[in-house]
Amino acid sequence: MLQKKWWHEKTAYQIYPKSFCDSNGDGIGDLKGIISKLDYLKELGVDIIWLSPIYCSPLADQGYDISDYYNIDPRFGTMDDMDELLKEAKARNMYIIMDLVVNHCSDEHQWFQKACGDPEGEFGKYFYIETVKDGKLPNNWRSYFGGSVWEKLPGHEDKYYMHVFHKKQPDLNWENPKLRHEVYKMINWWLEKGVAGFRIDAIMNIKKPNIFTTYPADREDGLASIENMIRDAVGIDEFLHEMKMETFEKYNAFTVGEVFTDRPDALKAFIGNDGHFSTMFDFSETCAGKNEDGWYKCQPVVCGDEYKACAFGTQKRLGDLGFISNIIENHDEPRGVSHYIPAEDLNDTSKKMLAAVNIMLRGLPFIYQGQELGMTNVDFTSIDQIDDCSTQDEYKVALKAGLSADEAFHAVLPFSRDNARTPFHWNDSANAGFTSAAPWLMVNPNYVQINAKDQVGRQNSVFSWYKELISLRKNPEYKETIVYGEVIPYKAEQKNLMAYYRKGTDKTLLVAANYQNKAQDLKLPGTFKQVLMNNLDTLDLDGSTLHMPGYQVVILEL
Ligand code: GLC
Nearest Cα residue to 243 out of 199, 323, 187, 324: 187
**Cβ 388 under 6 angstroms from ligand 1:** no
Task: Tell me the backbone φ, ψ of residue 148, rounded to 5 degrees.
Answer: -65, 155
Does residue 423 carry a pLDDT above 90? yes
CATH of 12-104+178-386+424-462, one of 3.20.20.80, 1.10.10.10, 1.10.260.40, 3.40.50.20: 3.20.20.80
Which atom of ligand 1 has the smallest separation from the CA of 104?
A: 12
- CA–CA distance, 278 with 257 (Å, rounded to integer): 8
Handedness of CA 116, 121, 127, 132 (dihedral sign): positive
Burial 544-555 (b: 16+ CB within 10 A, else e): eebebebbbbbb
Span 84-96, average pLDDT: 98
- Per annotation, catalytic residue among 258, 285, 333, 388: 258
To the question of domain 483-557 being in CATH 1.10.510.10, the answer is no
The residue among 354, 417, 372 whose CA lies nearest residue 551 is: 354
pLDDT of residue 1: 82
- Cα 466 to chain centroid distance, Å, stands at 18
How far is the C-alpha of 277 from the C-alpha of 432, rounded, in Å?
Answer: 37
Contact (CB, 8 A) for 164 and 149: yes
- CB neighbours of 194 closer than 8 A, spacing ≥ 6? 86, 90, 96
Across the range 106-114, mean pLDDT stands at: 98
Tell the burial category of 137 from Cβ atoms under 10 Å away from its Cβ (0-12, 13-18, 19+). Answer: middle
Sign of CA dihedral 487, 491, 492, 495: negative
Decide: 64 in ligand 1 pocket, CB within 6 A: yes
Atom of ligand 1 nearest to the CA of 165: 6
Q: What residue's CA is closest to ligand 1, atom 9?
A: 332
Q: What are the structural domain ranges in the chain?
A: 12-104+178-386+424-462, 483-557
Residue 82 scores a pLDDT above 90: yes
pLDDT tens-digit readout, 183-196: 999 999 999 999 99
Band of residue 448 on the pLDDT scale cut at 50, 70, 90: very high
Active site residue 201: yes
How many angstroms does the Cα of residue 199 sit away from the middle of ligand 1?
Answer: 11
User: Measured from the CB, is residue 501 less than 6 Å from ligand 1?
Assistant: no
> pLDDT of 14-57, one tens digit each?
999 999 999 999 999 999 999 999 999 999 999 999 999 999 99
What pLDDT sits at residue 334? 98
Distance of alpha carbon 101 from alpha carbon 103, whole angstroms: 6
For residue 442, count other CB atoms closer than 10 A to its CB.
17
The pLDDT of residue 427 is above 90 = yes
Q: What is the mean pLDDT of the chain?
A: 97
Task: List pLDDT tens digits, range 370-415.
Answer: 999 999 999 999 999 999 999 999 999 999 999 999 999 999 999 9
Question: If you average pLDDT over residues 487-496, what whole number do you get?
Answer: 98
Q: Is 108 a catalytic residue?
A: no
368: how many CB neighbours lie within 10 A of its CB? Answer: 24
The distance of Cα 337 from the centroid of its chain, to the nearest Å, equals: 15
Phi-psi region of 289 (alpha: psi -120 to 50; beta: other; left: phi over 0): left
Closest ligand 1 atom, CA of 332?
9
Predicted pLDDT of residue 324: 98
pLDDT in tens, 349-368: 999 999 999 999 999 999 99
pLDDT at 97 over 90: yes
Mean pLDDT (whole number) for 252-280: 96
**Which of 61, 99, 203 for mutating ligand 1's site (highest number of atoms within 8 Å of CB)?**
61
Residues 296-307 have pLDDT tens digits of 999 999 999 999
Q: Which amino acid is at 466?
A: Y
- Can you tell me the distance from the alpha carbon of 503 to that of 491, in angstroms, rounded to the nearest whole number? 15
CATH fold match for the domains 12-104+178-386+424-462 and 483-557: no
